[in-house]
Amino acid sequence: MTQKSWNLLIYRVPAQPSTKRVYIWRKLKSLGGLYLQQSICVLPQQEELQQQLEKLKLEILEAGGEVDLLTVIIEDTEQNSLLIQKFQQQADEEYKEFLGRCQDFHKELAHEREINNLTFAELDENEVELAKLRSWLPKIRDRDLFDASTYALAFETLKQCEQDFQEFSQQVFDVQNLQ
């Protein structure tokens, strides 16, 4: 996997109100941006990302900020590889957090089974948690610009959560229909 052409966004926005700074940071992170330093973010040069960055550049200027959006070409293959690895590490960290939440989901279902709390209220509560997991993984995947290795495990783990929830649902149904 090689990438030679990068977008480098360097910006400064007024300190107050902080909401604009936070908005810009969140927007860049949602695009999969990698911060090299505070207010210096790099993304691979891709048409869709370029359009998003151009729009963000205008928003920064409208907020009274300063911004440079530069295209940088890195000829050094090793340097490109290191940058790609940083993107993959960033995505892997998100996948690991996701995996931790999946583990928490399994523990919650196990706890409810252990205390025999097989109610429709618990079913609803855990269905909401599963929905959060289902919506979170695609968002991480969208930010995973260089196919981090942990995605496959995260995808399989989500399937296991869905299976565990199906089993829990059946158990709740069985218990509630006996009453």
Element (H, E) at 12: strand 5-12
Note whether 61 and 93 are same-domain residues.
no
- 156 or 4: whose pLDDT is higher? 156
Q: Please give the structure tokens belonging to residue 102.
A: 């999946």
50 in a structural domain: yes
52 in a structural domain: yes
CA pair distance 157, 109, nearest whole angstrom: 15
- The span from the first CA to the last CA of the chain, in angstroms, equals 59
> Can you tell me whether residue 70 is helix, strand or coil?
strand
20 in a structural domain: yes
Cβ contact 164:108 at 8 Å:
no
CA nearest to 106, candidates 150, 172, 174, 158: 158
* 167 contact partners, CB below 8 Å, separation of at least 6: none
Note whether 16 and 45 are same-domain residues.
yes
Please report the pLDDT score of residue 179 as a whole number.
60
82 in a structural domain: no
Note whether 121 and 92 are same-domain residues.
yes
Tell me how many domains the chain contains.
2
Listed residues 40, 75, 110: the one ending a domain? 75
Residues of the chain with pLDDT > 90, as a percent, come to: 93
CA nearest to 7, candidates 42, 58, 37: 42
Note whether 33 and 96 are same-domain residues.
no
Please report the pLDDT score of residue 15 as a whole number.
85
H helical segments located in the chain: 18-30, 47-62, 77-114, 120-143, 151-178
CA nearest to 74, candidates 63, 65, 86: 86
> Can you tell me whether residue 151 is helix, strand or coil?
helix
80 in a structural domain: no
Note whether 66 and 93 are same-domain residues.
no
174 in a structural domain: yes
Note whether 107 and 138 are same-domain residues.
yes
Note whether 99 and 169 are same-domain residues.
yes
Note whether 95 and 126 are same-domain residues.
yes
Listed residues 75, 98, 126: the one ending a domain? 75
81 in a structural domain: no
- The CATH code of the domain that includes 27 is 3.30.70.240
83 in a structural domain: no
Domain span at 62 = 5-75
Please report the pLDDT score of residue 4 as a whole number.
87
Note whether 22 and 54 are same-domain residues.
yes
CA pair distance 94, 73, nearest whole angstrom: 28
- Asked whether the bond before 17 is cis by omega within 30 degrees of 0, the reply is yes
Please report the pLDDT score of residue 3 as a whole number.
73
Instruction: List pLDDT tens digits, range 55-111.
Output: 999 999 999 999 999 999 999 999 999 999 999 999 999 999 999 999 999 999 999
Cβ contact 5:71 at 8 Å:
yes
